[in-house]
């Protein structure tokens, strides 16, 4: 990030919010690569069972959907994104799995999920919550679609910490997003009705995984 000019960096950060057009599609693909290590680390905190029904919110270029489908081989993985270009890229990347009925990708916002109550075993959200319009009510909407006993996990490459504040504040300003302390995330999950809340951080990288379960 530091080696590219501020103008380009602003363009990149703005695209993270809602990738659009040719550059947006390129961004979605590059995020598939750029977020893979943090995603793998984050997913190591949840168990994915063979028959699970899973939703990836803000699926971007669709790599996480692909990873989850490799694990839930007898289940189904859905992805939603409010960027039509991301839905297109993610659909292309998961073409074979869509054809076989194991993956479905839908154009939708986290504010109004097009699924019935009590539908998912697991909901994942990688590097996306920063952009959501109303975090607590969006987490409540996710809770609605989780089965009792199902969990949500938010996986992020940045949280508020003194050591990373200068970098994070710059990214947040350019990208127009908000990030939080681990304890604030715990509070949001609690206020949205989750229990068994667990927060894990990898301090050296400034990564965070925040999990909650629907009772
Ligand atoms: C930084 S990208 C991360 C994409 C992907 N999860 C990954 O890890 O590469 C953020 C994604 O969240 C999506 N997003 C942001 N706000 C959203 C909302 N309200 N509903 C659905 N998707 C949203 C954006 O379109 C974008 O694809």
Residue 121 lies in a domain: yes
CA–CA separation, 101 vs 187, rounded Å? 37
pLDDT value at 1 more than 60 = no
Q: Please state, for a pLDDT cut of 90, what percent of the chain lies above it.
A: 90
The pLDDT value recorded for residue 27 is 94
**Closest atom of ligand 1 to CA, residue 133:** 19
pLDDT value at 37 more than 80 = yes
Q: Please state, for a pLDDT cut of 70, what percent of the chain lies above it.
A: 97
Tell me the average pLDDT of the chain: 95
| 106 touches 80 (CB < 8 A) | yes
How sure is the predictor about 4, in pLDDT bands with cuts at 50, 70 and 90? low
* Nearest protein CA to atom 13 of ligand 1, as residue: 58
pLDDT tens track for 42-89: 999 999 999 999 999 999 999 999 999 999 999 999 999 999 999 999
According to DSSP, residue 168 is labeled H
Count of domains for the chain: 1
Task: Find the angle CA(77)-CA(82)-CA(86) to the nearest 5 degrees.
Answer: 70
Mutate which of 33, 89, 126, 128 for ligand 1? The one with the most ligand atoms within 8 Å of its CB, which is: 128
pLDDT value at 3 more than 70 = no
Q: Which among 141, 142, 136, 130 is positioned nearest to 180, based on CA atoms?
A: 130
Ligand 1 midpoint to CA 59 (Å): 6
Residue 182 lies in a domain: yes
**What CATH number does the domain containing 12 carry?**
3.40.50.150
Residue 94 lies in a domain: yes
pLDDT tens track for 6-19: 678 888 888 888 99
How sure is the predictor about 191, in pLDDT bands with cuts at 50, 70 and 90? very high
pLDDT tens track for 117-167: 999 999 999 999 999 999 999 999 999 999 999 999 999 999 999 999 999
Residue 120: which domain range? Answer: 6-213
Residue 95 lies in a domain: yes
The pLDDT value recorded for residue 2 is 45
* Nearest protein CA to atom 9 of ligand 1, as residue: 31
Cβ 120 under 6 angstroms from ligand 1: no
How sure is the predictor about 175, in pLDDT bands with cuts at 50, 70 and 90? confident
Residue 1 lies in a domain: no
The model's pTM is 0.96
Per-residue burial over 28-59, b = 16 or more CB atoms within 10 Å of its CB, e = otherwise: bbebbeebeebbebbbeebebeeebbbbbbbb
Residue 172 lies in a domain: yes
Residue 166 lies in a domain: yes
Please report how many Cα atoms fall inside a 13 Å half-sphere around the Cα of residue 93, on the Cβ side: 26
């Amino acid at each position: 990030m530091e080696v590219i000019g501020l103008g380009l960096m602003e363009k990149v950060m703005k695209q993270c919010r809602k990738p659009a057009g040719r550059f947006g599609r390129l961004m979605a693909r590059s995020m598939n690569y750029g977020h893979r290590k943090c995603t793998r680390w984050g997913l190591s905190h949840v168990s994915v069972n063979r028959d699970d029904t899973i939703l990836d919110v803000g699926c971007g270029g669709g790599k996480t959907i692909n990873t989850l489908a490799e694990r839930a081989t007898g289940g189904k993985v859905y992805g939603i994104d409010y960027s039509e270009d991301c839905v297109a890229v993610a659909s292309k990347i998961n073409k074979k799995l869509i054809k076989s009925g194991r993956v479905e990708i839908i154009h939708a916002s986290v504010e109004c999920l097009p699924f019935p109550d009590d539908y998912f075993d697991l909901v994942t959200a990688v590097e996306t919550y920063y952009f959501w319009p109303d975090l607590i009510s969006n987490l409540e909407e996710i809770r609605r679609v989780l089965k009792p006993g199902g969990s949500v996990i938010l996986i992020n490459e940045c949280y508020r910490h003194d050591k990373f504040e200068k970098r994070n504040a710059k990214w947040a300003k350019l990208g127009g997003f908000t990030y939080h302390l681990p304890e604030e995330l715990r509070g949001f999950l609690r206020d949205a009705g989750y229990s068994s809340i667990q927060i894990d951080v990898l301090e050296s990288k400034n990564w965070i995984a925040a999990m909650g379960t629907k009772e």
